[in-house]
Structure 1
Amino acid sequence: MDKEEMAKTAAEQETAASETERKPTNKERFNSMMMERMQGFNPDDEEGAYGMLIDDYTKSDEQKKILSDAINQDPRLAQVLSDIVSGKRSSGNALVRYYGRDFLSAEEGTPEYDDIAAAEEERKKEAEERAAREREYKSNMDTSAPVIEQFCKKKGYDVDEFLDKVWDWVASPILSGRYTPELLEMMDKAFNYDTDVSDALKAGEVKGRNENVNKMRNDKIGDGLPTGLGTNTKQTKKPKQKQETILDIAKYA
């Protein structure tokens, strides 16, 4: 094989490889990104997907406006955030840089002092509440762990995989306020499961009783249609039985 043929073969192989390893389109990349970012995002459901994007964009826009209003009230805050985000300074360093080292100092009895004292009390209260929630969560999980393990063992599930699905499909969307049609449908089925099963059983019982009654009627008195005037029908003579009353028929229901 000469150099020209070798070069041609190499070019063909390169072309085939590039076709095999096709890069995803921007639309495919976008849909993939949104499915990873937003639980329940379904690109095939355009109406639902656009609705989720609008909600997400609206919330983001509202948060930006809140931050913008705060910065407009105190432009130094923008410098503090900029230095922290860029890694130029730590949070404490940035606050001192733009507000001064005594920015939390105030004479007792002044409005500034009362404001600082109230903020400190709020911080302590929030810290205490957060610690209490963490203790409660740990206690509940310690109690629930054997129940979860027993349930997963009975169903043949992996505990970690099961809990991951609970978080991804239920807990995370609810905590973030992201109620999708799929989540609501799943919750509705869970809420109405016992009622639906009971209704189905009752419907089956009624249907079974009706079928039994109809069968008894057909067996005992026929289908109710005339056999025709003046015709002879051959019937096998059966032993005469006691005629059953409506109460006898009802007991088969």
Structure 2
Amino acid sequence: MTHKGIALVTGASAGFGKAITYQLVQDGYKIIAVARRKEKLEQLSHDFPDQIYPVVMDMTDTRNMETTIHTLPPEWQEIDVLVNNAGLALGVDRIPNISLSNWDQMIKTNVIGLIHLTQIIIGGMLDRKKGHIISLGSIAGTYPYPGGNVYGATKAFVAQFMLNLKTDLIGTPIRVTNIEPGLCGGTEFSDIRLKDHEKAQAVYEGTTPLTADDIAKTISWVVGLPAHVNINRIEMMPVCQAPAGVAVFKSIK
């Protein structure tokens, strides 16, 4: 297999991140697999012992992040593709019945961790005149829904950050892409958000949602395009989903 380069994938131990890692390995990339759970990373590296370098890192620990990246072994430091996948949603309560700690954690992970890691890695890409930065956004950043509040706001931030990043990088060969999925099943997303497995499963009842493999294949396609082609953003939904109409509340007198 031809070695295509090195990709760093955050949140690589499960869900989208695991599927993306497996797909990019198949595509010929070596992967720096970043996640918080050491045991799951060890399983990944066991599956692909020569192609995965596991890194235990918490995306909210920005002080440790720079040290972790800059102390990678020399043979793993030239990162060609960054996949900002790590992120989470917590709760579906409506304002004002929300948890500020949940809001803080979503902002620290989905926004602050993402921008810090991007800034740390982008310098090397510019020096080598080669690189692709991909972030996992969400249709929640475009279409509001009850209980989406800060989660949707973080994904709206990611969408605008990626567009502005591409604008700042005009004149360079660095590619920038935001992937914005809709309803996706088969991951821990709803379990983490709702903290109730039965409620999480009910989210997908009667639907055929997107899967982590669908996202991974989309990223594989984007990365595999010729170097002069940049995909700014991809909004994707399962056939069973569509953008909702504008809601109108009518009181009954």
Note whether the superposition's TM-score is higher than 0.5: no
Report which structure shows greater RCO (CA 8 Å, sep ≥6): 2
**TM, length-normalised to structure 2:** 0.21
| Higher alpha-carbon Rg | 1
Q: Which has the higher strand share?
A: 2
TM-score by length of 1: 0.21
